[in-house]
Structure 1
Amino acid sequence: MSKAILVDVTKCYGCGACTVACKLWNGKKYDDAKKPTVGENAQLADINWTVVSKHRVADASGKTVWRFAKKQCLHCKEPACASSCLVGALRKTEGGPVVYYPDLCVGCRYCMIACPFGIPKYEWDKSFPEVSKCQMCSGRLAKNEAPACVSVCPNSAMKFGDSEQILKDARAAIASDKRYVKHIYGEKEAGGTAWMYISDQPFDKLGFKATVKNRPLPEYTWKIINKIPAALVVWSGILTGVYMITKRRDAVKSSKNSEGKGGKP
């Protein structure tokens, strides 16, 4: 059964526990000075798979208030990133996550162009860069455990479960409380996503893209991919081979250097 997460924006108070859990679980470094994970300047980046953006909005009475929006890869049901990848480095799993396989990636970055939400990032500062994005803690989901970010939320702003039940819960919440806008973000965007949101504020005021079409996007990307010359596909294969050889050479060199340092003079 495919899994999903429901985020209730009204329950998030911007503590940032989810961003810390994400970095700890995935081994991502901190650089809040340049790439903050919480606040008005919070942005997804190669080292930020989860962020909490801060927004000044008006409540029902017109009073200015703050709202916090937890963001990460939405894990589309029919991901454009995966359909645009020439070598299968991005794949949709049965459980819900869209998983990245770096050993297959040739660095074409078509996934970054195809994603309607602008999620995938690139490790520009590395000698051997990879595409970088949330994996939805696919290893945890395989054990029927919630993603690390969800498991640490102190105010239960996120709910993990079967996708059909999550959607039912979202609809029930909106129907029972007039505060919520009549929109479940992620229910229809890009054909539907594994991460869904409910809010008392229009989603465009919270930094969510409001221009994403409801139609699944792979059919569009395939129209473009089919026009790519076969030579480019062959070239991608060559680049993959070069990358793998270079990566192996560096690993051997690093191993020899380590042995040299630890050996006798």
Structure 2
Amino acid sequence: MATRRDFLKGCLAGGAAAASAVLPETACARDTLQRPPEALGLLYDATLCVGCQACVAACKQVNENPAEFTAVDKLWDTPLDTSGHTFNLIKMYRHGTMETKDAEENGFSFMKTSCMHCADPSCVSACPVSAMTKNPVTGVVGYDADACIGCRYCVAACPFGIPKYQYDSPTGKIGKCELCRHRHKDGHYSACAEVCPTGATLFGRTEDLLAEAKRRLAVKPGDKLVVPRGRLPKPGETAEEAAKWKGPLDQSYEAVAGSYLQHVYGEKEYGGTQVLKLSAVNFQKAGLPDLPPKSSAATSETIQHTLYGGLMMPIAVLAGLTWVAKRNVVPEDDNQKGGQS
């Protein structure tokens, strides 16, 4: 007589067999999506960051987010990580005696944590109701609270752990950096870049920011380096184009080039991101994931569309369960014989 365990095993085997029957012999994932030509983003330079947290406070202010207290006195906004109410945070790498800034041995360094605005974002791919969207022009990954159903698929899908659920929201809501897109119409760019006193966070077109990052990598450590602050104008920008954004055109100053790792994080990671990062400390030690040059959204989306296109997966699973159920039904004659014996 079939046991409950046998039945469950049969269900799993039957469902898997039926599902595999409807899949094509070769499932080829689509190509990873690329950044739009006019994509906007940020360049974060850890060697210029002093950990002042001005960007954290500015982000809270412009997004009208409440303070989050981790200290007993509750006098200061002290979030330990990004959350549904903290979209941007400066974290710290520490080692040994912490004598030298931007040194892996006995040193310390800073790292900005916020949405990377991926070229091919998993959160957008995973969202079943298009609450997460990617602007085709700016590339900004935006969030629509009115469309959100609170499933939190985006939370699970993001390799950077950025979208966070606001558990205190009565309707269920996600919180994440949207590159201050609500301020663009008024000529304001990302608040974190607007207030950064050292230019550690710089706003502009990702294409121009990437060129700026590579310019810095080419400078020898210790040599003089002219650093722009606030917003990086695109090459050949006209006065009319510049007038769309508030703030002075040139906020550059002279600094000393750091001992950069010869790598721009975000140039190729996960298919490329619109937020790029420079550091003198290993990026993984500074808290960033080691990701392949291909977005998993390209693969997962293909599988989802293959399985659920035309309701193939639900039909296949139902067929499998039906087959297992019929196989485990004991004929009436066998029941009677078993009772007589």
Query: Quick check: TM above 0.5?
Result: yes
2:93 maps to 1:55: yes
| Rounded Cα–Cα distance in structure 1 between residues aligned with 2:175 and 2:64 | 12
Q: Tell me which stretches of 4 or more aligned residues in structure 1 moved more than 3 Å.
A: 34-38, 57-63, 141-145, 228-233
Is 1:132 aligned to 2:175, yes or no?
A: yes
- Quick one: distance in 2 between partners of 1:76 and 1:61? 29
Q: Which moved more, 1:85-94 or 1:122-131?
A: 122-131
Give unpaired runs (5+ residues) of structure 1.
234-265
Q: Which has the larger radius of gyration?
A: 2
Provide the residue aligned with 2:47 in structure 1: 10
What CA distance in whole angstroms lies between the structure 2 residues aligned with 1:67 and 1:158? Answer: 15
Aligned residues: 230
8 Å contact kept, 1:44–1:50: yes
1:197 shift after superposition:
0.4
SS of the counterpart of 1:54? strand
What's 2:276 paired with? 196
Q: Is the 8 A contact 1:37 1:48 kept in 2?
A: no
Cα deviation for residue 14 of structure 1 reads 0.7
- What is the RMSD computed on CA atoms of the aligned residues? 2.6
Asked if 1:218 is matched to 2:218, the reply is: no
> d(CA) in 1 for partners of 2:313 and 2:55?
40
SS in 1 for 2:62: helix
Q: How far apart in 2 are the matches of 1:132 and 1:202?
A: 28
Instruction: State yes or no: 1:185 paired with 2:253.
Output: no
CA deviation vs aligned residue, 1:127-148 (integer Å, no higher than 9, x gap): 2111111111012335553201
Q: Aligned to 1:205, what secondary structure does the other structure show?
A: coil
5 Å-filtered alignment, 1:24-39, equals 24-33=61-70
Contact 1:77 1:194 in 2 (8 A): yes
Contact residue 4 and residue 194 of structure 1 kept, 8 A:
yes
Please tell me whether residue 110 in structure 1 is matched to residue 153 in structure 2.
Answer: yes
Unaligned runs of 5+ in 2: 1-37, 222-258, 315-341
Hey, what's the Cα distance between the residues in 2 that align with 1:42 and 1:183? 27
Aligned partner of 1:149 in structure 2 is 192
Which moves more between the two structures, 10-19 or 127-136?
127-136
Alpha-carbon contact 2:181-2:189 (below 8 Å) kept: no
| Inter-CA distance 65–78: structure 2 relative to 1 (3 Å threshold) | same
TM-score by length of 2: 0.62
Partners in 1 of 2:172 and 2:130 — Cα distance? Answer: 17
- CA shift, 1:209, in A, is 0.9
Q: Specify the alignment match of 1:82 in structure 2.
A: 124
Alignment of 1:154-165 (within 5 A): 154-165=197-208
Aligned-partner Cα distance in 1 for 2:82–2:172: 17
Equivalent residue, structure 2, for 1:65: 107
Query: How much has 1:232 moved relative to structure 2?
Result: 11
Q: Cα gap change, 1:192/1:62 in structure 2, threshold over 3 Å: closer, same or farther?
A: closer
2:103–2:281: 8 Å Cα contact kept in structure 1? no
Give the CA deviation at 1:37.
Answer: 6.6
Is the CA contact (8 Å cut-off) linking 2:50 and 2:110 kept in structure 1? yes
**Alpha-carbon offset, residue 184 of structure 1:** 0.7
Partner of 1:123: 166
Match of 1:101 among 121, 144, 154: 144
Percent identity, please.
33
Specify which structure has the higher proportion of helix.
1
TM-score (norm 1): 0.79
Q: How many angstroms apart in 1 are the aligned matches of 2:92 and 2:112?
A: 9
